[in-house]
Chain A
Amino acid sequence: SQTIHQWPATLVQPVGSPLSLECTVEGTSNPNLYWYRQAAGRGLQLLFYSVGIGQISSEVPQNLSASRPQDRQFILSSKKLLLSDSGFYLCAWSVAGTKIKETQYFGPGTRLLVL
């Protein structure tokens, strides 16, 4: 069966510091991968998605970047965090080659607090 992992689970970082959040998927090959952010009291915002190694699409201009160095690894980064980067970050995957009508499966999330 497929599993998705995210770490760390919780992170407290000062403004201006760098960020690296990691997501890995097991049990499937060449998945579509996604990063979402959930701000307090708000819905989910898609940040990035990837359909293959080195292929990243950004949905919104922002202070963050994403990379996919391996087939089942997706990394969310920032060089300098802003207060507004605080939130709950969720990684998700879907079956390779499927269109967006198919199900996405979410990881447990990383709670980021920027002070």
Chain B
Amino acid sequence: GDSVTQMEGPVTLSEEAFLTINCTYTATGYPSLFWYVQYPGEGLQLLLKATKADDKGSNKGFEATYRKETTSFHLEKGSVQVSDSAVYFCALGAYGGSQGNLIFGKGTKLSVKP
């Protein structure tokens, strides 16, 4: 079945460091791909998304490119800030199986130190 695998954390970086959080997926057909962010004690917020191969989603300095050939959707940011400390979830939405299901990775906790 469909699945998402993202790198396990926690990830600890210094401010202004480069960030990559890896995400790969398994799906039949052509899923949409999402990155959500969860700040401490809060719900999930959509960070960015891509709906077809080679699309690049971007928001708040974060980027991710939908790579069909490598089935990946890695999240990157060139210079992280302390305020980026959060848990990041990769997710896919696909046809087939349950109509209601977005499939989430287990999340990667990012801590940015000043």
Residue of B nearest to A6 (CB): B43
Q: How far is the CA of A42 from the CA of B100 in the complex (A)?
A: 20
By size class, the interface of chain B is 20 to 34
Contact present for B98 and A57 (CB under 8 Å): yes
A105 CB to closest chain B CB, in angstroms?
7
**Which of B34, B36, B95, B102 has the most CB atoms of chain A within a 10 A radius of its CB?**
B102
Q: Mark B92-103, 1 if CB is under 8 A from A, else 0.
A: 011100111110
By size class, the interface of chain A is 20 to 34
Known contacts: A44-B104, A109-B43. The answer to whether A99 contacts B95 by CB under 8 A is yes
Q: How far is the CA of A90 from the CA of B44 in the complex (A)?
A: 8
Quick check: which of B45-53, B59-67, B76-84 contacts chain A, the rest being far away? Answer: B45-53
Contact present for B100 and A57 (CB under 8 Å): yes
Which among B43, B49, B89 is the interface contact of A103 at CB below 8 angstroms? B49
Contact present for A102 and B100 (CB under 8 Å): no
Contact present for A100 and B94 (CB under 8 Å): yes
- For residue A100, which residues in chain B have a CB less than 8 angstroms away from its CB? 93-95, 98-102
- Interface check A34, CB cutoff 8 A: yes
Residue of B nearest to A9 (CB): B41
- Interface check B106, CB cutoff 8 A: yes
Q: How far is the CA of A54 from the CA of B32 in the complex (A)?
A: 28
Which chain B residues (7-61) contact chain A, with CB distance < 8 Å?
31-32, 34, 36, 41-46, 49, 51
Residues of B within 8 A of A (CB): 31-32, 34, 36, 41-46, 49, 51, 89, 93-95, 98-102, 104-107
Residues of A within 8 A of B (CB): 6, 32, 34, 42-44, 46, 49, 51, 57, 59, 90, 92, 99-109, 111
- Known: A99-B95, A99-B99, A106-B44; 14 extra A-B contacts, CB below 8 A, are A34-B100, A90-B43, A90-B44, A92-B44, A99-B93, A100-B94, A101-B31, A101-B51, A101-B94, A102-B93, A103-B34, A103-B46, A106-B36, A111-B41
